Amino acid sequence: MKTFLVLPLTGMLLFFYATGNSQGCLFTCPENIVMKADSGKGGVYVTLPGATVDSSCGVISYTPASGSFFKIGSSSVIVTTASGTRCSFTVTVTDNEPPSLSLVTLSSKRIWPANGKMKEVGVRYSSADNANETSCVVSISSNDPAANGQDAEVVNTHLVRLRAQRLPNGLARIYMITVTCTDEAGNITKRTTGISVAKNISPKK
């Protein structure tokens, strides 16, 4: 916390660090503060703490003013006395809210026929964040421990290619498709859905 003693000196202002003095304008800038962003918002309205001043300082102003909306990140607040003397402190607004992510649905309910060929499957979802854009990635796993990297491919964040092949014992191979979305603050949301390889009969729609 900084305390300023301001005295006029031949048209200039002389600054001293002080703990108390009955002469000149003695004022103390508020400490830096940290606030959480409001839910669903890119910031928060902040009531600023008051500076400690004596009666000789006159009117104290804040820029931005108390009650202003502060966006996520760090912003400086300038405290100015009637004589024009200034000090500053920082308001930091944190983003603790993970991005929203809709249910993940696929363009097909099942993979058919089980002919060993690669089949394209659309991955449908939407994401949003209270502050900035989100970055989403798609990953694929399956219940086949023998599956290799050539059995599943992520084409882009909304399209995958999966091999239409069942397990060696004849049971259905099941692919699990996970969408992971991350915002700029590092908050993460995940959703997973699955699709199986049907037998060589037309699956019910």
Would you call the peptide bond into 98 cis, given omega within 30 degrees of 0 as the criterion? no
Q: What is the Cα–Cα distance from 76 to 157, expressed in whole angstroms? A: 38
Domain that holds residue 23: 3-94
Per-residue pLDDT band at 119 (split at 50, 70, 90): very high
CATH number at residue 114: 2.60.40.10
Can you name the residues that pair with 124 across neighbouring β-strands? 105
Q: Which pLDDT does position 24 carry in this prediction?
A: 67
Q: Which pLDDT does position 54 carry in this prediction?
A: 81
Q: What is the Cα–Cα distance from 61 to 140, expressed in whole angstroms? A: 57
Q: Reply yes or no on whether the pLDDT at 200 is more than 90.
A: no
Q: What is the Cα–Cα distance from 75 to 67, expressed in whole angstroms? A: 14
Are 89 and 114 contained in the same domain?
no
Q: What is the Cα–Cα distance from 79 to 87, expressed in whole angstroms? A: 5
The side-by-side arrangement of strands in the sheet containing 86-94 is 33-36, 86-94, 73-80, 61-63
**What does the block give as tokens for 171?**
């049971």
Q: Which pLDDT does position 10 carry in this prediction?
A: 33
Per-residue pLDDT band at 12 (split at 50, 70, 90): very low
Q: What is the pTM of this model?
A: 0.74
Are 112 and 85 contained in the same domain?
no
Q: Reply yes or no on whether the pLDDT at 13 is more than 90.
A: no
Per-residue pLDDT band at 47 (split at 50, 70, 90): very high
Are 75 and 131 contained in the same domain?
no
Nearest to 131 by CA among 47, 35, 37: 37
Q: Is residue 186 part of a domain?
A: yes
Per-residue pLDDT band at 106 (split at 50, 70, 90): very high
Domain count, the chain: 2
Nearest to 50 by CA among 84, 13, 15, 77: 77
> Could you report the per-residue pLDDT of 125-179, keeping only the tens digit for each?
999 998 878 999 999 999 998 877 789 999 999 999 999 999 989 999 999 999 9
Exposure of 93 by Cβ count < 10 A (0-12 exposed, 13-18 middle, 19+ buried)? buried
Q: Which of 68, 94, 120 is the last residue of a domain?
A: 94
The whole-chain average pLDDT of the chain stands at 86
Report percent pLDDT > 70 for the chain. Answer: 85
Q: What is the Cα–Cα distance from 133 to 190, expressed in whole angstroms? A: 16
Are 132 and 112 contained in the same domain?
yes
Q: What is the Cα–Cα distance from 147 to 134, expressed in whole angstroms? A: 31
φ and ψ at 159, to 5 degrees?
Answer: -150, 130
Question: Which residue is listed with tokens 């006395």?
Answer: 81
Under 8 Å between Cβ of 76 and 62: no
Q: Is residue 204 part of a domain?
A: no
Nearest to 153 by CA among 166, 135, 139: 139
Q: Is residue 202 part of a domain?
A: no
Are 19 and 84 contained in the same domain?
yes
Are 175 and 129 contained in the same domain?
yes
Q: Reply yes or no on whether the pLDDT at 42 is more than 50.
A: yes
Per-residue pLDDT band at 202 (split at 50, 70, 90): low
